[in-house]
Structures are given as structure tokens and as C-alpha cells.
């Protein structure tokens, strides 16, 4: 768990809070001698920076943040209570539980990785770093695209029977729930709109050694809401962080006069760490659908059912 928490804090462009917080997980329930025992797993991660009662009211909401819609919805007199909960600090819990899910998936040889595809419009390592440095110099922020890949996922996870059971829908919802993510695509994604069907659908082949297989993976490993045995590939767009050191225009919520938006301690770029969070989101969803299909009382029973299923489909 702690290794994954450290990965979440890494990445060029992170803010000063990463120098304050040294996240360390304390398991308080559900695990005995490093083995889960079936009861709810409780993990405690303490914030070193928790002075919310001493902080000034936030009365100039930031464009692009939850500040204004949040205080209007819940009737707060300022946005401080909104930003504390809407903050991506909450993803610490996501990553902690995702670490446990990765251990579980590893029992079935399923591995999950992420990588940064672009920062701004830059796709090379040097170009991406220079783009972040430019944002730092200009007191700006920058977003980008990251990719999550799951290897070793068998066919048959998810379902076409009900809309809420479709695996691609579940993954999209989970990853879209990460603060700052504004778009998700599976496989070729938006690229499907630019080509004829004859050029994009993954043809099906069969051999005695491999069984059913594909030579392309435009579907991103999911067809009809069900995993098809290929690598699951998802990309997501992380918007630039909403807090700017050179703030955009806003309005004072108490006197309604135009004013610069509030400036809070913030990151410059979080695309890399967002990928780590998305790994955990994918790990949680894949664990959930795997347990749904093969049971969840005992690991040996789950493995037995899993092996029998793979034997049946000759995978």
C-alpha cells in the first residue's frame, strides 16, 4: 500500500503539499497476519496538513473548480468546505484500496500499468518536461493524456445484459470520478468516428495453440461491455489544475463585485499521478467483476472456479 501511495505523490509538476505529506497506511481492520479475513478492511492514513478551522474563508470561487456549484448546492457561506472534500487529496483512499485490489488480481496473473501519453500537445519526454517548466515559469497549469493498460484479463468479465454491468461503462465512470478528468476513451475511442467499420473492427482468428485471438486491438479489450481476452486499454484526459498563481477573473460571493479568483496551494501538473490513481480505479472495478463472476468467500474456491472457466473456454 505504501509503495503505491509513494507513486501517487511522484511526478514532475507536483505541488508543495507533497513535501508536507508522507503518506503511510495503517491497517486497522480486516487483515490478520497479512491475510484478509473477510471482514471490512479499514485503512487509516493521517493528514499532516489539517488546519481547516484556521484557514480563511474562500469567497472568490475558482473557475474550473467545484467551488461555486458546491457552495450553491449545499448552502455554504464560503467555498472552503467544498474544496476540502472536492480536493484530489481524497484519491489517497482510492490508491490505498487499489493496492489491495492489485494484490488480488495478481493471484490471477492480471497486471495493470499506466503511462503518460502527452502533456499539452507534447508527446516526447523532453517536450513534456519543457511544457511543465513553461507552465511553472508563467504561473500557469497544464494537463495531458494518460493511458491505463490491464494485461492478462480473460474473456467474459462484465455483461451486455444490463447497462450498469457493462465493463467499459464501469471503467469510464470510475476513471471519470477522478478529480480533473474530463474525458475517457476505450481502445481507439474517438478514432472510431473517423474511419469505416471495415477498417476498425478487430478480425477474429483461431489456432490450436492460442485459441481465439486478434491481430489488432482497436476495441481496447472490451466488446459489448464484456472483456474479450485482449489487453484492456483506456485513455483519459486530465484538465489543467483549476488553481492558478495568476488567477482568472471571478466574483466575490458576498458583495458580487468582480475580483481575481482565490489562490490556493496547488500543483502545476498531475497527469502522471492521475494515471496511478486510474490504475487503482481499474484494479477495483476488475476485482469487483471478477468476484461477481467467480464468487468471493475463499480465494482457493475463486481460483478453482476461475481455472475451470478458463478450461471450458480453452483460454
DSSP per residue over 220-264, as a string? TTEETTEE-SSPEEEEEEEPPPS--SSPPEEE-TTT--EEEPP--
Max intra-chain CA distance, the chain: 74
Cell numbers for 132, please give them: 511543465
Mean pLDDT of all residues in 81-91: 89
Find out whether 242 and 64 touch, Cβ atoms under 8 Å. Answer: yes
Helix axes 91-106, 271-294, angle to 10 degrees: 50
- Establish if 80 belongs to a structural domain: yes
DSSP, res 56: P
- 57 Cβ contact partners less than 8 Å away, ≥ 6 residues apart: 77, 78, 80
Question: Quick one: how far is CA 274 from the chain centroid?
Answer: 6
What CATH number did the domain enclosing 160 receive? 3.60.150.10
Distance CA 52, CA 29 (A): 28
- Establish if 310 belongs to a structural domain: no
| Counts of helices then strands in the chain (DSSP H, E) | 10, 14
CA end-to-end span of the chain? 31
Closest by CA to 232, choosing from 168, 293, 290, 287, is 168
State yes or no: pLDDT of 111 exceeds 70.
Answer: yes
Neighbours of 139 (CB within 10 A): 12
Find out whether 272 and 116 touch, Cβ atoms under 8 Å. Answer: yes
Higher pLDDT pick, 88 / 142: 142
pLDDT band at 55 (very low <50, low <70, confident <90, very high): confident
DSSP for 113-173, please give it.
EEEEEEETTB-SHHHHHHHHHHHHHTT----EEEEEEEESPPTT-B-SSSGGG-HHHHHHH
The predicted structure's pLDDT at residue 207 = 93
- Establish if 67 belongs to a structural domain: yes
State yes or no: pLDDT of 50 exceeds 90.
Answer: no
- The pLDDT tens digits for 252-290 are 999 999 999 999 888 999 999 999 999 999 999 999 999
- Establish if 128 belongs to a structural domain: yes
Closest by CA to 78, choosing from 313, 252, 276, 283, is 252
Find out whether 114 and 196 touch, Cβ atoms under 8 Å. Answer: no
The predicted structure's pLDDT at residue 54 = 79
The predicted structure's pLDDT at residue 235 = 98
Neighbours of 96 (CB within 10 A): 22
- Domain encompassing residue 37: 2-287
- The pLDDT tens digits for 209-254 are 889 999 999 999 999 999 999 999 999 999 999 999 999 999 999 9
CB-facing half-sphere around the CA of 238: CA atoms within 13 A: 30
- Establish if 101 belongs to a structural domain: yes
- Establish if 153 belongs to a structural domain: yes
- Number of domains, the chain: 1
- Establish if 267 belongs to a structural domain: yes
- Establish if 238 belongs to a structural domain: yes
Looking at every residue in the chain, the average pLDDT score rounds to 94
Return the sign of the alpha-carbon dihedral for residues 159, 163, 164, 168: positive
The predicted structure's pLDDT at residue 18 = 56
Amino acid at each position: 500500500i505504501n509503495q503505491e501511495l509513494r507513486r501517487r505523490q511522484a511526478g514532475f509538476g507536483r505541488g508543495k503539499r507533497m513535501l508536507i505529506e508522507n503518506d503511510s497506511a495503517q491497517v486497522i481492520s480486516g487483515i490478520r497476519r497479512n491475510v484478509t479475513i473477510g471482514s471490512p478492511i479499514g485503512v487509516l492514513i493521517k493528514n499532516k496538513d489539517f488546519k481547516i478551522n484556521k484557514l480563511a474563508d474562500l469567497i472568490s470561487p475558482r473557475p474550473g473548480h467545484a467551488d461555486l456549484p458546491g457552495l450553491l448546492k449545499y448552502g455554504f457561506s464560503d467555498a472552503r468546505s467544498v474544496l476540502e472534500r472536492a480536493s484530489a487529496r481524497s484519491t489517497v483512499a482510492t490508491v490505498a484500496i487499489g493496492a489491495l485490489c492489485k494484490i488480488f488480481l495478481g493471484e490471477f496473473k492480471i497486471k495493470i500499468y499506466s503511462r503518460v501519453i502527452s502533456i499539452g500537445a507534447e508527446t516526447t519526454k523532453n517536450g513534456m518536461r519543457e511544457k511543465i517548466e513553461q507552465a511553472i515559469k508563467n504561473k500557469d497549469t497544464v494537463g495531458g493524456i494518460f493511458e491505463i493498460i490491464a494485461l492478462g484479463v480473460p474473456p467474459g468479465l462484465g455483461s451486455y445484459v444490463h447497462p450498469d454491468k457493462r465493463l467499459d461503462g464501469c471503467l469510464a465512470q470510475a476513471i471519470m470520478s477522478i478529480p480533473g478528468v474530463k474525458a475517457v476513451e476505450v481502445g481507439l475511442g474517438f478514432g472510431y468516428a473517423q474511419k469505416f467499420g471495415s477498417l476498425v473492427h478487430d478480425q477474429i482468428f483461431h489456432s490450436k495453440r492460442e485459441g481465439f485471438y486478434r491481430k489488432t486491438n482497436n476495441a481496447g479489450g472490451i466488446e459489448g461491455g464484456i472483456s474479450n481476452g485482449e489487453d484492456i486499454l483506456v485513455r483519459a484526459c486530465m484538465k489543467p489544475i483549476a488553481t492558478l498563481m495568476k488567477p482568472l477573473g471571478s466574483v466575490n460571493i458576498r458583495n458580487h463585485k468582480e475580483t481575481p479568483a482565490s489562490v490556493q496551494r496547488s500543483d502545476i501538473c498531475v497527469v502522471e499521478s492521475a494515471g496511478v490513481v486510474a490504475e487503482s480505479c481499474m484494479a477495483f472495478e476488475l476485482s469487483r467483476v471478477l468476484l461477481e463472476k467467480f464468487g468471493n468467500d475463499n480465494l482457493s474456491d475463486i481460483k478453482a472456479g476461475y481455472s475451470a472457466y478458463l478450461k471450458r473456454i480453452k483460454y
